[in-house]
Amino acid sequence: MKLNASDLDAKQAYKLMTAVVVPRPIAWVSTLSATGISNLAPFSYFTSVSNKPPMVGINIGQEARGRKDTATNILDTKEFVVNIGNFAQVEDLHASADHHPPEVSEIELLGLKTVPSEYIAVPRLADAPVQMECRFDRMIPFGTAGSEFYVGEVIAFHVRDDLIDNNKIDSVALDPICRLAGPFYAKLGEIVRMGSRVR
């Protein structure tokens, strides 16, 4: 079947893309509002964009009300933390996507433990196995439906001690959450090791 992109509206294209660009990693992003209220939400349009300096990007869509709290907070404070959750946290991660007004902290609502960051004011999720302290670098708008790509420079990586050995991460022990379309998630499946062309 061929689908011409020009025949798809934004919702149809979203459904298609979230089902074919799989599995996606999830940035579980904590931010602070200009008035200091903490916020937490998951974003699976997420990737790394540079190694030196290390930089990551998340695509944040807009809603009828305008920018999501995460986007507003990043633009206001220029800081965010990308937490990488593990599968034991999937229920909290999913629940943190529920819409709440800016004055409600999803972190407090879900009773999640935090620890202070070392270089920025935004707290990290204490139980997330990896947390990246990020300084906002730039925002690039795309398309006509309000998509905005937010790029941040990673200032510090915090990795649970048992997951890292000689700068290598144990992916199985990390047990990351993979996002599929809609409400579907997956765990890592069988891992296959290839020859030397793979770095």
Ligand X SMILES: Cc1cc2nc3c(=O)[nH]c(=O)nc-3n(C[C@H](O)[C@H](O)[C@H](O)COP(=O)(O)O)c2cc1C
Q: What is the DSSP letter of 123?
A: P
Per-residue binding string, ligand X, 7-46, x by CB under 6 A, is -------------------x------------x-xxxxx-
Cα dist from 83 to 9, 48, 107, 142, 193, whole Å: 32, 14, 12, 25, 27
Any contact of residue 107 with ligand X (CB under 6 A)? no
Any contact of residue 82 with ligand X (CB under 6 A)? no
Any contact of residue 61 with ligand X (CB under 6 A)? yes
Comparing CB distances to ligand X, the nearer of 61 and 164 is 61
Comparing CB distances to ligand X, the nearer of 69 and 133 is 69
Hunting for tokens 């998951």 — which residue is that? 42
Q: How far is the CB of 187 from ligand X (least distance, A)?
A: 14
Query: CA-CA distance, 130 to 141, in Å (whole number)?
Result: 28
Cβ neighbours of residue 135 under 8 Å, at least 6 residues apart? 78, 79, 120, 152, 153, 155
Q: How far is the CB of 157 from ligand X (least distance, A)?
A: 21
Which residue from 8, 37, 38, 59 is in contact with ligand X, where contact means CB under 6 A? 59
Q: How far is the CB of 183 from ligand X (least distance, A)?
A: 8
Any contact of residue 104 with ligand X (CB under 6 A)? no
Query: What is the Cα gyration radius of the chain?
Result: 17
Which residue from 15, 99, 113, 138 is in contact with ligand X, where contact means CB under 6 A? 99
Q: Report the candidate in 63, 73, 131, 126 with the shortest Cα–Cα distance to residue 99.
A: 63
Within 116-145, the residues that bind ligand X by CB under 6 A are none
Length of the chain: 199
Element (H, E) at 148: strand 147-159
Any contact of residue 83 with ligand X (CB under 6 A)? no
Which residue from 94, 135, 158, 160 is in contact with ligand X, where contact means CB under 6 A? 94
Any contact of residue 69 with ligand X (CB under 6 A)? yes
Query: CA-CA distance, 196 to 175, in Å (whole number)?
Result: 25
Which residues in this chain contact ligand X in the complex, by CB under 6 A?
26, 39, 41-45, 59-61, 68-70, 94, 97, 99, 179
